[in-house]
Structure 1
Amino acid sequence: MMMGAGMLLAVGCGADLPEGWEDAEAIEGLTQSECTASAYDTTVKETLAATPERGAVHIDYGAAHFRCAQEVEGFVRIAGGKVDVLVQPADMDPSGVAGCDCRYDIGMTVKGLGKGAVAVDLYRRWDNINEPNDPVKIGSAEVEIP
């Protein structure tokens, strides 16, 4: 019984989102790979690939730069023909952090989209130990939802 109440409290607290993202919705089913490469390799760049699906867009965020062993989550804002996606650490105020950064491949699907052209913008934000900690735009893509 106590565990259920605690779980409700945690859900009710809401995510730590940046200004302008307060109404963004969590993306269910986000996948995150194991660390794929060192974030200090400057030849590796973060990438966005958007693939249209029926009523949805699948997003592949390649070489995402976060701390080692840091779990991330995604949020989406949908307005008109625009989809904004934010990926950030699940724990924005960690009590301790790894002394390294690495790259992850992240996948997610944004559902509930109507047919037609959609502009997708992908943003990344690090944890609150970084100052300032505003979202950084990773890339943009245009897709046609069937």
Structure 2
Amino acid sequence: MQNKAWMVAALLVVGCGGADLPEGWEDAEAIEGLTQSECKAGAYDDTVQEALVATPERGAVRLEYRAAQFRCDQEVEGFVRIAGSRVDVLVQPVDMDPGAVAGCDCRYDIGMAIKGLSKGALGVELYRRWDNINEPNDPKKIGSTEVQIP
């Protein structure tokens, strides 16, 4: 009986797993191979702005999210929604409900590639979301651009 209860508990944990995504992003897919730099600058430097740079490649688009503002030592992940000729990307912390947080913010450069795209014009929008300690915590649009996928 104990083994059966343990298996049910394990299934419940697996079934409830997954990312904490905002409304409208429930069907977004995790982006594999996302890279995150070390902390580059203080987040409160007003001369540094978050930015999106998109470079088209054959069947893909390479995205650079420059000067992304997150907490110090906070690992992030990315999610993508693809609909027709539009790609939406959300970057947020891996741990959306941290038990303790650093008393500082950092700027990071984040890189990723969105693959399996059709040839032609593509609109790209980048959003950032902080952890759930922030209220409200809706995605913030960082930038948008259009690229031509070869």
If the length of structure 2 is used for normalisation, what is the TM-score? Answer: 0.90
Which of 91, 96, 100 matches 1:92? 96
Number of equivalenced pairs: 142
Secondary structure of the residue that 2:117 maps to in structure 1? coil
Residue 48 of structure 1 is matched in structure 2 by 52
Which of 124, 133, 136 matches 2:137? 133
Q: Which runs of 5+ in 2 are unaligned?
A: 1-9
Q: Which runs of 5+ in 1 are unaligned?
A: 1-5
Secondary structure of the residue that 2:21 maps to in structure 1? coil
Pairwise CA RMSD of aligned residues? 1.7
Secondary structure of the residue that 1:139 maps to in structure 2? strand
CA–CA distance in structure 2, aligned partners of residues 41 and 11 of structure 1: 42
4+ aligned runs moved over 3 Å, structure 1? 9-12
Structure showing greater radius of gyration is: 2
**Residues 26 and 11 of structure 1: is their aligned pair in 2 closer, same or farther, counting only changes over 3 Å?**
farther
Residue 4 of structure 2 is matched in structure 1 by none
- Aligned-pair identity in percent equals 77
The alpha carbon displacement at 1:12 in A equals: 5.8
| Structure 2 residue 100 is matched with structure 1 residue 107 | no
**Residues 90 and 11 of structure 1: is their aligned pair in 2 closer, same or farther, counting only changes over 3 Å?**
farther
**Residues 11 and 142 of structure 1: is their aligned pair in 2 closer, same or farther, counting only changes over 3 Å?**
farther
